[in-house]
Amino acid sequence: MGFDMEETDQLIRDTAHRLFTDQCDAETVNGSECGEAPERLQKAILEAGLTLAWVPEAAGGVGGSLALGFSLIRQAAGFALPVPLADTLVANLLLAESGLEIADQWAALAMDGGELPVLVQGKVSGVVEAASGMPEAEVLVMPVTQGGQIRIAVFTPSVVDVQHHESLAGEARSRITLNAAVPDQLSDPVDGMTADGLGQFCALVRACQIAGALEKMGELTVGYVKERQQFGRPLGKFQAVQHKVADIAGESAISGAAVEQAIRMISSHPAPFDGSMDILLPVATAKVVASEAAGKVPRDAHQAHGAMGFSFEYPLHQYSRRVWSWREEFGSEFYWSERLGMAVASEIDTHGSGKSATRAWDVVSR
Amino acid sequence: MESVRFNFPAPQIDESVDELRKEVRAFLEEEVRSGGFTPVTDCWCAGIDPEFSRKLGEKGWIGVTWPRQYGGRELSALHRYVITEEMLVAGAPVHAHWIADRQSGPLILATGTEEMKQKILPQIAAGKCFVALGLSEPESGSDLASVRTRAVRVEGGWEVTGTKLWSSGAQQCQYMTVLARTGERNPEKRHDGLTQFFIPLDSPGVTVRGIRDMSGVEHFNESHFEKVFVPDDAVLGAVGEGWKQITNELALERSGPERFLSTFVALEKALQQGAPNMSGHQAAVAGSIIARIRALRAMSLGVAALLGQGHSPEVEAALVKDLGTRFEQDIIERLREFWPVRMKQGYGDELQNLMADSLLRSPSFTLRGGTNEILKGIIARGMGLR
């Protein structure tokens, strides 16, 4: 079974890579920001079933592992995919986890790490500042809270109060206001799901996207400094430039390592949305490290690219603007480092002796 | 390979690894409690205690990956990793045997004669035989291929003449692995004609002089070799192949936990002091540091896993060392915000002592075993820029 699943996962990863390579070039990405909807790309992604990677086979999905979905998200970020694949994947996963119906279409995720809207007597009230995936979406998937329990609510986008905004990278981020709105579908309370756990899961999604985009920035930079000649030789022959590239590689590598470690933990966890300490540690680690790198890598990559990287035509900015917005979403490095520091501090116990004492290292090395 | 995409696979941790970790932790706790050692920062370079090394030898915690016939236990690289990281975070005085366990033992296993393996390796594993590295010289630092130490053929062996510098812990060591020129210099092939020798430091013609470093520790040495005779079987591997061996060795030693945990004892102490009343700001600084340690550890364990699978992750290892060594310096700079570093060792406050020693030792972190500038060059070459 395990082997079959790995095989299926690899097949889908390869399909995604071919699809993105063929249909998501730099012109498509820039064009999409200038109002040319990437319809061919959208259609191909739906047809390939990529949005259903996290939906069980029984519910008409692919039945892929959590690791598969995260690898699709990372790949997509490496192409600056101008389509809300990550958001639809998470929305569909929430529908699947809560036993609601899933359609083969784009879904918006009405969750941004802030307070969840509240459910009272079957009606939902609250504000979600930055829902993602709205323009394409045919359903709006929203975790709501009632008495500390999480349910999933589904709305038709056209009937809710929406104010459209764009992130730094031109990705749709919509303000949704609900005033005792009646959802089209409402799940039972979902076992093992907490608001914090949902926030952690989405923080990892953003960290994973950052890791994918940073890798691409590294590739673009290496390619550019090999080609671009100044003072009679390629920029990449200058030691000062080489060291910048090495720094990019380092920050990209450490982000990838932190993200992969968290994905391994969450994939093997019996309750990936419960927000427990054993998930918090690797997820906070990943979001802190990736968000910090999201400041450092664009600085070095743009410096190495000179004015070319500052132009709209050259693709670098599609990645730098994305990582600059993703690093803030679902908790910046400042937010997660404080959470992580507090979590570790709360477990340190110097008064115990021998086996009962807990050092920082005991927590850090978990 | 020319790629900026890296893979750091998961270590295969089984029960025996966890068991070993518990055993090592319990031993170290007991040692500290009974006054066996006082935790020191940068313990793998500044904590020398041959008696403690012998205790670890008795425990069977040195040379654990080596074949049983040579005193090893045939455990995995991960078992060794766990032992070393637990020693580092405890600030245990492990310097005496560190190089022999990490580097010289594996080098002898790969290139030494059968007699050397039988004689030396069990002694290293017992914590009784220590080995120093004879690489740098007064005129050769980063440009190691320029070494001037010469070995000339004489009847029955070689005669070695030259000066080695910065060899850590040599005054405690019985042997030194010495990189010497055995062939003529060739400006076209600078790395040819170098050979490594395994030289007893009690040989006639060897003088070892201690050098005090800026932190007050006398672990550095200048070792002079004046027509020192060594027999043919003191050659490690093939004559003229020394450079290849050195670069293989260095690739192995670049990614270990000592490249980001040297100052962890100071962080541990600070967190223990700060934990009961931690402010949000303190927590944010601590959390940022902890996140990076956890990420570096994932990288470092990933490199260990790659090595275990038979890969040669030279670039990945260089990345760990470049990021890790800058980070272990950074830890102290960031903790200063809450715990200023003013007084020299001896002030009486344990945290102050650990912070002060960490700061005073920190310039060496980004120099030893290949400067970070050299490492960045290796990384850039991996990206196809050189």
* Residue A351, pLDDT above cutoff 80: no
Closest CA to A247 of B282, B372, B40: B372
Q: Angle between the B280-308 and A333-347 helix axes, to the nearest 10 degrees? A: 90
Q: How far apart are CA B386 and CA B380, in angstroms?
A: 7
Q: What is the mean pLDDT of residues B146-169?
A: 96
A333 vs B: CB within 8 A: yes
Tokens 């906070």 belong to: A284
H helical segments located in B61-155: 77-90, 95-99, 105-111, 114-125
Distances (CA, A) of A272 to A101, A141, A263: 21, 18, 10
Question: Which amino acid, one-letter code, is at A99?
Answer: G
Backbone angles phi, psi at B194, to 5 degrees: -110, 145
At the topology level of CATH, where does B15-129 sit? Butyryl-Coa Dehydrogenase, subunit A; domain 1 (1.10.540)
> For residue A153, how far is the Cα from the chain centroid?
21
- pLDDT band at residue B1 under the 50/70/90 scheme: very low
Top-confidence residue, A7 or B368:
B368
Q: How far apart are CA A319 and CA A89, in angstroms?
A: 21
- pLDDT band at residue A1 under the 50/70/90 scheme: very low
pLDDT at B13: 86
**Is there a contact between B4 and A260 if contact means CB atoms under 8 Å apart?**
no
**Residue of chain A whose alpha carbon sits nearest to that of B89:** A361
A222 vs B: CB within 8 A: yes
B225 DSSP β-pair partners: B162, B206
Q: What is the mean pLDDT of residues A327-334?
A: 98
Domain-wise residue ranges, chain A? 2-186, 195-364
Summarize pLDDT for A49-104 with one digit per residue, the tens: 999 999 999 998 999 999 999 999 999 999 999 999 999 999 999 999 999 999 88
Q: Chain A closest CA to B137's CA: distance in Å?
A: 25
Q: What angle do CA B356, B358, B364 make, to 5 degrees?
A: 130
Q: How far apart are CA B203 and CA B187, in angstroms?
A: 33
Count of pairs with CB atoms under 8 A, one residue in A, one in B: 177
pLDDT at B252: 67
Closest CA to B332 of B287, B289, B370, B368: B289
CATH code, residues A2-186: 2.40.110.10
Q: Chain B closest CA to A337's CA: distance in Å?
A: 4
Backbone angles phi, psi at B252, to 5 degrees: -70, -35
The burial of B273, by beta-carbon neighbours within 10 Å (0-12 exposed, 13-18 middle, 19 or more buried), is given as: middle
**Is there a contact between B29 and A334 if contact means CB atoms under 8 Å apart?**
no
Domain B254-382 has CATH 1.20.140.10: yes
Residues 255-294 of A with CB under 8 A from B: 255-258, 260-261, 264, 281-282, 284-286, 288-289, 292
Q: What is the mean pLDDT of residues B152-169?
A: 96
- pLDDT band at residue A354 under the 50/70/90 scheme: low
Summarize pLDDT for B89-130 with one digit per residue, the tens: 999 999 999 999 999 999 999 999 999 999 999 999 999 999
Do A69 and A89 form a contact (C-beta atoms < 8 A)? Answer: yes
What is the pTM (predicted TM-score) of this model? 0.96
What is chain A's percent helix, strand, coil content, to nearest 5?
55, 15, 30
CATH code, residues A195-364: 1.20.140.10
Neighbours of A82 (CB within 10 A): 23
pLDDT at A328: 98
**Residue of chain A whose alpha carbon sits nearest to that of B27:** A354
At the topology level of CATH, where does B133-241 sit? Butyryl-CoA Dehydrogenase, subunit A; domain 2 (2.40.110)
Q: How far apart are CA B347 and CA B353, in angstroms?
A: 7
The burial of B254, by beta-carbon neighbours within 10 Å (0-12 exposed, 13-18 middle, 19 or more buried), is given as: buried
Summarize pLDDT for B224-256 with one digit per residue, the tens: 999 999 999 999 999 999 998 888 777 767 899
Do A202 and A285 form a contact (C-beta atoms < 8 A)? Answer: no
A130 vs B: CB within 8 A: no
Question: Which amino acid, one-letter code, is at B298?
Answer: A
pLDDT at B3: 72
In chain A, DSSP assigns E strands to 107-109, 118-120, 123-132, 139-146, 149-155, 161-166, 172-181, 185-186, 229-230, 233-234
Summarize pLDDT for B348-370 with one digit per residue, the tens: 799 999 999 999 999 999 999 89
Show residues of chain B in contact with A361, CB under 8 Å.
89, 264, 268
Show residues of chain A in contact with B10, CB under 8 Å.
261, 264
Q: Chain B closest CA to A294's CA: distance in Å?
A: 14
Summarize pLDDT for B46-82 with one digit per residue, the tens: 999 999 999 999 999 999 999 999 999 999 999 999 9
User: Per the structure block, which two tokens stand in for B324?
Assistant: 């890790």
**Is there a contact between A348 and B316 if contact means CB atoms under 8 Å apart?**
no
The dihedral formed by the CA atoms of A327, A328, A334 and A336, expressed in degrees to the nearest 10: -80
DSSP category for residue B100? I
The burial of B318, by beta-carbon neighbours within 10 Å (0-12 exposed, 13-18 middle, 19 or more buried), is given as: buried
Query: Looking at the partner chain, which of B285, B295, B322 has a beta carbon nearest the beta carbon of A246?
Result: B322
Enumerate long-range contacts of B33-41, CB under 8 Å, 24 or more apart.
B37/B91, B37/B92, B37/B93, B38/B91, B39/B90, B39/B91, B39/B92, B39/B265, B39/B354, B40/B91, B40/B93, B40/B265, B40/B354, B40/B357, B41/B91, B41/B262, B41/B263, B41/B265, B41/B266, B41/B354, B41/B357, B41/B358, B41/B361
pLDDT at B2: 57
**Is there a contact between B280 and A289 if contact means CB atoms under 8 Å apart?**
no
Domain-wise residue ranges, chain B? 15-129, 133-241, 254-382
Q: What is the mean pLDDT of residues A30-45?
A: 96
Query: Looking at the partner chain, which of B267, B292, B316 has a beta carbon nearest the beta carbon of A360?
Result: B267
**Is there a contact between A261 and B6 if contact means CB atoms under 8 Å apart?**
no
Q: What is the mean pLDDT of residues A194-221?
A: 98
Distances (CA, A) of A123 to A45, A113, A131, A144, A190: 34, 21, 19, 10, 17
Averaged confidence pLDDT in chain A: 95
A131 DSSP β-pair partners: A174
Do B52 and B59 form a contact (C-beta atoms < 8 A)? Answer: no
Summarize pLDDT for B7-46 with one digit per residue, the tens: 999 988 899 999 999 999 999 999 999 999 999 999 999 9
Show residues of chain B in contact with A282, CB under 8 Å.
294
How many percent of chain B have pLDDT more than 70?
Answer: 99
Residues 6+ apart with CB under 8 A from A179: A125, A161
Do A344 and B271 form a contact (C-beta atoms < 8 A)? Answer: yes
pLDDT at A355: 56
Query: Looking at the partner chain, which of A245, A288, A350 has a beta carbon nearest the beta carbon of B291?
Result: A288
pLDDT at A3: 53
Query: What SS3 class is residue B136?
Result: coil
Summarize pLDDT for B196-219 with one digit per residue, the tens: 999 999 999 999 999 999 999 888
Do B17 and B78 form a contact (C-beta atoms < 8 A)? Answer: yes
Tokens 């995260």 belong to: A70
* Residue B259, pLDDT above cutoff 70: yes
B133-241 and B15-129 share a CATH fold: no
Q: How far apart are CA A30 and CA A236, in angstroms?
A: 27
The dihedral formed by the CA atoms of A127, A129, A132 and A137, expressed in degrees to the nearest 10: 40
Summarize pLDDT for B268-324 with one digit per residue, the tens: 999 999 999 999 999 999 999 999 999 999 999 999 999 888 888 999 999 999 999
Question: Which amino acid, one-letter code, is at B251?
Answer: A
Q: Where in the sequence numbering do the catalytic residues of B fall?
A: 253
Which residue out of B1, B2, B3, B6 would a mutagenesis test of the A interface target, given it has the greatest number of A Cβ atoms within 10 Å? Answer: B6
